[in-house]
Structure formats: structure tokens, C-alpha cells
């Protein structure tokens, strides 16, 4: 079979004689992509200094999330010590990015991981595992006399953010790279669902930090703390079913997670109805109850992404 390629596309991608391309056919489409050996790295140049409306951290992070492999910061003047420190801090935050070259007016960073060896579902599982560990430590502090572990929660949540950025980078890349989407076995709807799930998981991490901060500030009785602990541990069941249902595309587990959340909502509603008129508890206590419901909703919404099975 002979296929003619547009000369503009060939030149833009730097193809030469004997370079290989991949041909993929769909129901109403044909997709031609470069193979890994022929694919040039995506490169972007950020002019320095950046405009007053922008900042170097946002520009580099944006390029990372858009899937650029090489980010070159080219300065008309020397790059300030403050901005260099911001760039170095970003390298600790953006998984796979490293500074590969640097001088007074230039900093070049590069994504050193092979995207095809990564897995969106494993990254989401990693985020889920970290979030669950944070949640358990936060909830267990309600019945413990030592709350020092709560002070570690915000820092540990940073790892969820790192995995979140990596996952967003991958799924955005898969949207524009059919070959990568095929490797991940993701269709367009799946890519959108992963983007939403990643956001919900990142929000769950932030909510756990909010929960930990509130627990440190509240001065509740042992009875109130015990009530909160019993109310909180029920969320774990929602979390487990929701994450598994999404990754395994298991509609049955998704229904179980959604049902568990609805039952949880009823229980919280009954608790609020019984306590608020009598003013038996503090406002802080009720805020903690609202925060638990917000966290449970994040996980239930992930289960809600699992598509029904139609005959």
C-alpha cells in the first residue's frame, strides 16, 4: 500500500527517508503518527523576563502540563536568583523534569521519563493510596492524645499534587497523540473521565488537609471525638469501592459506592437535624461533619464516572 504524506507535515516533523510511521485505522478515520524513534521531542521557549501578568513558575508548570519534553528559558538579561530558586523548587514538584543545562541567562529543563512506560491507572492508584493513608492518620488522631501527626498532613499532600500534575500531563498528551492513547488503551471519553477523576482526587487531598487543620483547632469532648471517629471511618468503604470501580470499569462496585454515599448522606442529615436545634455541639463540630461529607462526595463522584453497561 502506498500513502502520500503532506509535505508540510513531513517537514514540520523532521521526517527523512526510511523513517517509520504508524498507521491506525478507525471506523471512519485513518491516523498516521510518528514512531517513538522518529518522534522529535516537543520543545518550547519561554522568553525571560516574563510579563508582569505572568510568573516563571506558572509558565514552566503550564508547559509541563501541555506535554512539552524540553522547556528552554532564554533570558535577555541574567535570570535572578529568586527565579532560579523557583525553577529548582518546581523540579521537585514536577515528576520527571530535570535541569539539564544552565548558565547566567538560560535554563534548560527536560522531561526524562518515557511516557509510554507510565500508566494513568497506576498513577491514580498512587494518589488514592496516599490520600487514604492521610485520611486514616487524620481520623485516628480523633481518638489519640498525640496530634503531632496532623502537622505532617499538608506536606504529605504535596505528593498527591506531584502525581496529579504528572497524570494531567499524561492524559493531555494522550489527547493529542493517538499513539499514546492507544498505548494507554484510552478513548476520548476515557481521557476526559481520567481528567475529572484526577481533579476529584486532588480535591480530596486538599479536603483532608482542611480536615486535619480543623481537628487541630477544635477542642471537643471525648464523646464528640468518638462520634466523629465512628462517622469518619465509614467513608473508607466508599473510597475503596469508588476507586476500584473506576479503574476496573466495574459498574456493580460503582453502584455500591454511590449507594453507600447516599446512605452516608442520610446519616449525616439525621445527625445535623438532631443536633443543630438543640445547639448541643459547637460550630466547629458541625463544620467537621460538613467536611467529611465533602470528602465522601469527592470519592462518590469518581464512582459516578463509571459508565452504565448497555446491551
Q: Does residue 276 register a pLDDT over 70?
A: no
For residues 245 and 257, what is the distance between their CA atoms, to the nearest angstrom?
8
CB of 193 closer than 8 Å to CB of 99: no
User: Considering the chain, what percentage of its residues have pLDDT values greater than 70?
Assistant: 91
Q: What is the pLDDT of residue 27?
A: 55
Q: Does residue 160 register a pLDDT over 70?
A: yes
Supply the pTM of this predicted model. Answer: 0.85
- Sorting pLDDT into bands at 50, 70 and 90, what band is 35? low
Among 36-40, 106-110, 133-137, 198-202, which stretch is predicted with the lowest mean pLDDT? Answer: 36-40
CB of 209 closer than 8 Å to CB of 157: yes
For residues 259 and 129, what is the distance between their CA atoms, to the nearest angstrom?
22
CB of 208 closer than 8 Å to CB of 295: yes
pLDDT per residue as tens digits for the range 87-138: 999 999 999 999 999 999 999 999 999 998 999 999 999 999 999 999 999 9
Phi, psi of 190 (to 5 degrees): -60, -40
Position with higher pLDDT, 146 vs 45: 45
Pick the CATH number of 43-111 from 3.40.50.720, 3.30.110.20, 1.10.240.10, 3.20.20.450: 3.30.110.20
CB of 222 closer than 8 Å to CB of 282: no
Among 9-23, 34-48, 260-274, 294-308, which stretch is predicted with the lowest mean pLDDT? Answer: 9-23
Position with higher pLDDT, 157 vs 10: 157
Work out the average pLDDT over 167-175.
94
Q: Provide the 8-state DSSP code for 80.
A: P
Q: Mean pLDDT over all residues of the chain?
A: 89
Q: What is the pLDDT of residue 281?
A: 61
Work out the average pLDDT over 71-78.
95
- Sorting pLDDT into bands at 50, 70 and 90, what band is 36? low
Q: What is the pLDDT of residue 249?
A: 93
Q: For the domain covering 116-303, report its CATH number.
A: 1.20.58.220
Phi, psi of 18 (to 5 degrees): 80, -5
Domain ranges across the chain? 1-40, 43-111, 116-303
Residues contacting residue 134 through CB under 8 Å, at least 6 positions apart = 153, 156, 157, 160, 205, 208, 209, 212
- Sorting pLDDT into bands at 50, 70 and 90, what band is 38? low
| Fold agreement between 43-111 and 116-303 | no
Q: Does residue 244 register a pLDDT over 60?
A: yes
Burial class (CB in 10 A: 0-12, 13-18, 19+), 62: middle
Position with higher pLDDT, 279 vs 290: 290
Amino acid at each position: 500500500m502506498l500513502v502520500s504524506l503532506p509535505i508540510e507535515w513531513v517537514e514540520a516533523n523532521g521526517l527523512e527517508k526510511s523513517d517509520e510511521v504508524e498507521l491506525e485505522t478507525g471506523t471512519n478515520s485513518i491516523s498516521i503518527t510518528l514512531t517513538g524513534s522518529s518522534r522529535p521531542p516537543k520543545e518550547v521557549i519561554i522568553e525571560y523576563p516574563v510579563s508582569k501578568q505572568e510568573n516563571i513558575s506558572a509558565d514552566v508548570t503550564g508547559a509541563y502540563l501541555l506535554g512539552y519534553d524540553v522547556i528552554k528559558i532564554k533570558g535577555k538579561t541574567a535570570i535572578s536568583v529568586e527565579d532560579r530558586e523557583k525553577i529548582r523548587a518546581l523540579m521537585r514538584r514536577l515528576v520527571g523534569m530535570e535541569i539539564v543545562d544552565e548558565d547566567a541567562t538560560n535554563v534548560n529543563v527536560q522531561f526524562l521519563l518515557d511516557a509510554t512506560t507510565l500508566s494513568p491507572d497506576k498513577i491514580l492508584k498512587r494518589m488514592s493510596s496516599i490520600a487514604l493513608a492521610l485520611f486514616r492518620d487524620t481520623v485516628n488522631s480523633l481518638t489519640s492524645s498525640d496530634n503531632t501527626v496532623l502537622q505532617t498532613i499538608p506536606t504529605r499532600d504535596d505528593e498527591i499534587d506531584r502525581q496529579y500534575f504528572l497524570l494531567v500531563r499524561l492524559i493531555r498528551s494522550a489527547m493529542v497523540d493517538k499513539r499514546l492513547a492507544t498505548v494507554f488503551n484510552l478513548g476520548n471519553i476515557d481521557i476526559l473521565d481520567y481528567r475529572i477523576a484526577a481533579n476529584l482526587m486532588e480535591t480530596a487531598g486538599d479536603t483532608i488537609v482542611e480536615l486535619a487543620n480543623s481537628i487541630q483547632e477544635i477542642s471537643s469532648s471525648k464523646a464528640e471525638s468518638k462520634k466523629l471517629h465512628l462517622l469518619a471511618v465509614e467513608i473508607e468503604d466508599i473510597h475503596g469501592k469508588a476507586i476500584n470501580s473506576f479503574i476496573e470499569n466495574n459498574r456493580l462496585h460503582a453502584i455500591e459506592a454511590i449507594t453507600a454515599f447516599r446512605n452516608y448522606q442520610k446519616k449525616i442529615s439525621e445527625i445535623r437535624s438532631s443536633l443543630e436545634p438543640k445547639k448541643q455541639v459547637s460550630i466547629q463540630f458541625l463544620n467537621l461533619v460538613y467536611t467529611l461529607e465533602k470528602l465522601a462526595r469527592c470519592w462518590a463522584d469518581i464512582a459516578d464516572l463509571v459508565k452504565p453497561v448497555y446491551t
